[in-house]
Structure 1
Amino acid sequence: MGRKKKVGSISTFLGYGSSIEGTLEFQGTIRLDGNVRGRITSNGGTVIVGEKAVINADIIVDGAIIMGEVNGTIDAKDRIEVYPPGRVVGDIQAPMISIDTGAVFNGNCGMKGQQTVFEKKSPDSSEKLAITDEPKKK
C-alpha cells in the first residue's frame, strides 16, 4: 500500500454533477469530483481528482492526487500520485511519481528535475553521491 502525502485543507471544491469548461486557476488545494474540460493551473497548488471526476484537461500544478479519470497531460513541480480506481490517459511529468497497483496509466512518463542522494555503505567513507537527470557542464 502506498502512503498518501498529507495535503493542506481543501480551499475549493467542485462537486459531483457539476461541470466547468475553460481555464481553471486556483491557489491552495482543490478537490474535483465533477467534470472539467480545458486547462487546470496553479502556482503552488495541489489538485485532488475524486473517484467520480472526469477531467479532460491539461494540468499544470505543484502536486496532483488522482483517484478519478484524467485525459490529458499532467505536469507537476513536486509529485503525481495515482490511486485506484484512478485512470490517467496522457503524458505525465514530475520529480516524484507514484502509481499504485490497480490504477491505470496509459502514456509517457518523465521524471525531470529529481535529485537523489545515496550514501555509500562503506563504514570508512562518509562520501555521498548525487545523481541527477541533468547533464554535467563542461
Structure 2
Amino acid sequence: MFGKKKQPPIRSLIAHGSKISGEIKFSDGMRIDGEVHGSIRSNEGSPSILVISETAVVKGEVYADHVIVNGRVEGPLYAAVLLELQPKARIAGDVRYAALEMHQGAVIEGQLHALTTAAEKTVLTLAANNR
C-alpha cells in the first residue's frame, strides 16, 4: 500500500508541550510531539499515517495503517500496514502489525502479533498439504 503510492499528508499536529485527554480520530496523517491520554484512531476507508515523535508520550490504544514511533507508547498498538520503530521507541503493550521495521535501540515490553489475512492462512495450509 505505501510501497510506490504517495503517503497521505500530515494534516494534524499535537505540538510539544500540549497535553490532550480523550479519544482522537484523524484522517490522512497526524504527528504527535506532545502527550495524549486516550485512544488514537485513524478514520477507516482511507490510508493513514501516524508519527509519534521522540518527545511524544501516548497512554492509550493506537490504531492506524502506517505507524512510525520514536517516542513512548503505553498501551496496545495496531498497525494495519506497516510499523516502523525508530531507535528511541519505547512501547509498553501488545503490538499487532502487518509489516515491521525495527531499528536497534527500540524496546517493546509486550507481545508481537503478525497480522495475517484469511487468504494467507489458506495458502499456507494448502502448501503444507502438497508435500
TM-score, normalised with respect to structure 1: 0.77
Aligned to 1:23: 23
Q: CA deviation at 1:114?
A: 5.9
| Structure index of larger Rg | 1
| Structure with the higher fraction of residues in strand conformation | 1
Aligned to 2:116: 113
Equivalent of residue 104 in structure 1, options 107, 110, 115: 107
Unaligned runs of 5+ in 1: 1-5, 116-130
The one-character-per-residue Cα deviations of 1:66-85 (angstroms, maximum 9, x if unpaired) are 01000110112111111011
How does 1:53-132 map onto structure 2 within 5 Å? 53-113=56-116, 132=120
Q: CA deviation at 1:133?
A: 4.0
1: CA distance, partners of 2:50 / 2:31: 6
1: CA distance, partners of 2:27 / 2:92: 25
- Paired residue type of 1:8: P
1: CA distance, partners of 2:120 / 2:101: 19
Aligned length: 118
Identity percentage of aligned residues: 27
Q: 2:37–2:58: 8 Å Cα contact kept in structure 1?
A: yes
Q: 1:51–1:68: 8 Å Cα contact kept in structure 2?
A: yes
SS of residue in 1 equivalent to 2:39: strand
Q: 2:57–2:72: 8 Å Cα contact kept in structure 1?
A: yes
2: CA distance, partners of 1:37 / 1:80: 21
Q: CA deviation at 1:55?
A: 0.6
Q: CA deviation at 1:104?
A: 1.1
Of stretches 10-19 and 37-46 in structure 1, the one that deviates more from structure 2 is: 37-46
| Structure with the higher fraction of residues in helix conformation | 2
The one-character-per-residue Cα deviations of 1:12-33 (angstroms, maximum 9, x if unpaired) are 1111000111100000110000
TM-score, normalised with respect to structure 2: 0.81
- Paired residue type of 2:96: Q
Unaligned runs of 5+ in 2: 1-5, 127-131
- Paired residue type of 1:132: E
Q: CA deviation at 1:62?
A: 0.9
